Amino acid sequence: MVGVDIRTGAHECFERLVIEFAPGEAPTPAIPPGYWVRYTDDPVTLGQTDDQFVTIRGEATLLVTAEAWMYEVDPNGVPTGYAGAVDLFPDDVEWIEEIRLIDNFEGVQVWAVGLDRERDLRVSMLRDPQRLVIDVGA
């Protein structure tokens, strides 16, 4: 699987962050990627460096790691590189202030998510299409 889209949405009692996946080119298996979601302190390391840091908007920073590159996929299902936004400031939510792709290397993507404060989370994988869903609670 490869990541192909990231988006947010507001609901009555929570806000949602979604990373959508699509089958990648063989030999990449079309199985759900492993993932890890955790709070961390700012500043966060940018990419595979140990000397480049970035501060994420908000009072709390969430790291979302998925074992799948972030790519665009052409009509034949072949990854073509990721051309989407890498630093997002969503305007359809209030608590999620910034989403930044801080690493996309060796089959792993890492997004730093700036929240207005630490909040309860519910994380799940959904199908059709395959996606990692993070619900940020009130």
pTM of the model: 0.89
Number of domains in the chain: 1
DSSP tag of 4: E
Exposure of 19 by Cβ count < 10 A (0-12 exposed, 13-18 middle, 19+ buried)? buried
Domain that holds residue 86: 2-137
Assign residue 117 the CATH number of its domain: 2.60.40.3500
pLDDT of residue 77: 67
**pLDDT over 60 at 130, yes or no:** yes
Q: Which residues of 53-63 are buried (b: 16+ CB within 10 A; e: fewer)?
A: ebebbbebbbb
**pLDDT over 90 at 138, yes or no:** no
pLDDT of residue 6: 95
What distance separates the 2 farthest-apart alpha carbons in the chain? Answer: 42
pLDDT of residue 65: 95
